[in-house]
Amino acid sequence: MQVIHGFDGLDPGQRGASAALGNFDGVHRGHQALLLDAARAGRQIGAPTGVITFEPHPRRFFQPDAPPFRLTLAAEKARILAGLGVERLYQIAFDAALATMPAEAFIERVLARGLGIRHLVIGRDFRFGKGRKGDALLLRNMSAGLGFTVSIHRILETDEGEYSSTAVRIHLEEGRCAAAAAHLGRWHTVTGEVLKGEQRGRALGYPTANLAFGEQMIPCYGIYAARVTVHDGPHAGRYDGVASIGERPTFGPHAPNFEVHLFDFSGDLYGAEISAELISYLRGEARFDSAAALVSQMDRDSAQARARLADARIPD
């Protein structure tokens, strides 16, 4: 998959895709339906499948002081999209110039002249341009004169409501891993570079890989059965484990933290890029009176995590 930054001065080989437009935070099943439409249209006209998205997320631009909310950071989103068959990922910088660009100018300058889009798929409720005045109807009305076609995709729904990034966040905030996975079509992941921690887990017999949440939303505090992908380095591969999200009430420091212990693993992961899938919520975080009591509970958590991982299935 090509990752293309910006829209000005692109080579001919970077233009001309059949693309879906949106933020695609989480790349949930509703988003995936847009990708299927873009791929189907692309096959009919002989164009590669593309996605047009924005970095940073527009919400961060307009709400710079908002708490972290991202389901997928740029690198993880790119990995997911590549796995779904996307051939070109257009990452458009969402800055003041784009935020104040009228919708009509976005269609003409970015989509038509810049990216040379041949077909565009958009969700019925997606808005764009200054004041969010651009919508699917405006795109359809302008597209014919600019040389591309448009498909407007209906909103997909579950028995509980529409597929949405907001619904996924709510499920994760309440520890409902399977419900989040039902929207995503895969397990939610926490991703990032492994950082050096205080190595307290190593002293307890449970060494952990530590990640910073950064712009990622923080799921419900507690202990999770997890499955980890190490993307690079000598230990690249997949590992089962048990993860902790919280403020480490027994030892501190009392700030949001993510750490995961990999079962049957020995090695140094510092600096490696990993993605940790949250498979099942085991229990809430708790404070223990002694290190021995904590280790005893970690033993029980690990046994429970192994059992949950053995029969974990993503809901339909």
Q: Render pLDDT for 158-180 as a digit per residue (tens, 0 to 9).
A: 777 789 999 999 999 999 999 99
- Sequence length of the chain is 316
Min mean pLDDT across 67-71, 84-88, 102-106, 253-257 is at 253-257
Predicted confidence (pLDDT) at residue 250 exceeds the cutoff of 70: no
Residue with token string 């990216």: 115
pLDDT at residue 202, rounded to an integer = 72
**Beta sheet of 88-93, edge-to-edge order:** 2-5, 88-93, 49-55, 18-21, 119-123, 149-153
Q: Tell how strand 189-193 and strand 273-283 pair up.
A: antiparallel
Q: Which residue from 36, 38, 315 is spatially nearest to 185, judged by alpha carbons?
A: 315
Q: Is 120 in contact with 19 (CB distance < 8 Å)?
A: yes
d(CA 169, CA 148): 35
Min mean pLDDT across 55-69, 73-87, 119-133, 144-158 is at 144-158
d(CA 135, CA 156): 18
Residue 65 one-letter amino acid: D
Q: Tell how strand 273-283 and strand 222-230 pair up.
A: antiparallel
Angle value at C-alpha 21, between 15 and 25, nearest 5 degrees: 125
**316 or 40: which leads in pLDDT:** 40
Contacts of 77 (CB under 8 A, 6+ apart): 24, 25, 27, 53
- Determine the average pLDDT of the residues in 213-223: 97
Phi, psi of 223 (to 5 degrees): -110, 140
Position 290 confidence tier, pLDDT thresholds 50, 70, 90? confident
Q: Which residue from 3, 26, 21 is spatially nearest to 216, judged by alpha carbons?
A: 26
Residue 199 one-letter amino acid: Q
This prediction's pTM? 0.93
Predicted confidence (pLDDT) at residue 35 exceeds the cutoff of 60: yes
- Determine the average pLDDT of the residues in 2-26: 96
pLDDT at residue 316, rounded to an integer = 82
pLDDT at residue 253, rounded to an integer = 61
pLDDT at residue 158, rounded to an integer = 75
Residue 63, burial from CB neighbour count under 10 angstroms (0-12, 13-18, 19+): exposed
d(CA 135, CA 128): 7
Q: What is the per-residue DSSP string for 20-49?
A: EES--SS--HHHHHHHHHHHHHHHHHT--E
d(CA 5, CA 21): 15
Share of the chain above pLDDT 90, in %: 85
d(CA 105, CA 146): 12
Compute CA distances 30 → 37, 91, 204, 238, whole Å.
11, 20, 43, 27
Q: What is the per-residue DSSP string for 213-267?
A: -TTB----SEEEEEEEEE-SSTT-EEEEEEEEEE--TTT---S-EEEEEETT--S
Predicted confidence (pLDDT) at residue 57 exceeds the cutoff of 90: yes
Contacts of 73 (CB under 8 A, 6+ apart): 191, 192, 214, 215, 216
pLDDT at residue 247, rounded to an integer = 86
pLDDT at residue 287, rounded to an integer = 86
- Determine the average pLDDT of the residues in 70-88: 97
Within the chain, strands assigned E span 2-5, 18-21, 49-55, 88-93, 119-123, 149-153, 157-158, 161-162, 189-193, 209-211, 222-230, 237-246, 257-262, 273-283
Residue 6 one-letter amino acid: G
